[in-house]
Amino acid sequence: MKLVVGLGNPGNDYRGTRHNAGFEVVDALVKRHARDAGRERFGAICWEAELRVDGVQDKVLLMKPLTFMNLSGDPVAQAMRFHKLDAARDLLVVADDLALPVGHIRLRQDGGSGGHNGLADVAIKLSSGNWARLRVGIGKPAPRMSQVAHVLGRFTDEERPSVDASISTASEAVLAWLDRGAAAAMNAFNTKVPAPTPGPHGAGPQTDSASSS
């Protein structure tokens, strides 16, 4: 079994916000592949899917935590323990990323949280950062807008087509990770981020790591 977790905040107030990009990827996978209507387990809504894993059909658990973002690690850790999964081999977490432009995704087999509180809590609760994470670009805040206001805001009408395309691409990247492994999925789906536009003195803007509420 593999576990694919989309991070976000539960409830209608947060539906469609930038911070819920991880939820949207899981929603896309559920729509196409879930075998059930979903049920509450481990402090999350979980669906079972039968997908190609390492070349053969196998069970995959799709999860959206019902905890708020900062406590995302609790449901993940519970599911990992119950199913006796190995994080480095069996876990993929999907989250939003401020450092990536809208429309871009980035898959890594391991690494730090990049300031993302949901990813940080997963690492704390698992006592490890050695697990795959798929980041979906949400872009940086506008000038004088706080990061919190940005991530809890919604995409503009102009951004939405690019967001929808990246959600679709991210769901395909998840399928590739399951079937062909991290290296093949990274080669196929990681997009090149454009160079920053030079500022008035010739220096591009600083690249911030993803941040969360």
Predicted confidence (pLDDT) per residue in 68-87, tens digit: 999 999 999 999 999 999 99
Q: Which stretches within 50-191 are classed as H helix?
A: 73-83, 87-90, 117-126, 147-151, 160-180, 182-189
pLDDT value of residue 71: 96
pLDDT value of residue 111: 83
**Cβ atoms within 10 Å, residue 112:** 13
Residue ranges of domains in the chain, CATH in brackets: 2-189 (3.40.50.1470)
Structure tokens belonging to residue 185: 């999925």
19 flagged as catalytic: yes
pLDDT above 70 (res 109): yes
Kindly state the average pLDDT of the residues 10-22.
Answer: 95
**Cβ atoms within 10 Å, residue 110:** 14
pLDDT in tens, 186-195: 999 997 666 5
Whole-structure pTM value: 0.88
pLDDT above 50 (res 213): no
Say if CB 79 and CB 41 are below 8 A apart: yes
Q: Which amino acid is at 178?
A: L
Give exposure, 129-162, as e/b (b: 16+ Cβ within 10 Å). Answer: bebbbbbbbbbbbeeeeebeebbbbebeeebeeb
Kindly state the average pLDDT of the residues 110-126.
Answer: 91
Number of H helices, E strands in the chain: 7, 7
Which residue in the list 19, 104, 116, 150 is annotated as catalytic?
Answer: 19
pLDDT in tens, 48-62: 999 999 999 999 999
pLDDT above 80 (res 47): yes
pLDDT value of residue 110: 85
pLDDT value of residue 115: 82
Say if CB 4 and CB 29 are below 8 A apart: yes
Kindly state the average pLDDT of the residues 112-132.
Answer: 92
pLDDT in tens, 135-186: 999 999 989 889 999 999 999 999 999 999 999 999 999 999 999 999 999 9
pLDDT value of residue 210: 37
Euclidean distance between CA atoms 115 and 2, whole angstroms = 26
Residues shown for the chain: 213
Structure tokens belonging to residue 67: 């905890």
Q: What is the largest CA-CA distance in the chain?
A: 56
pLDDT value of residue 114: 81
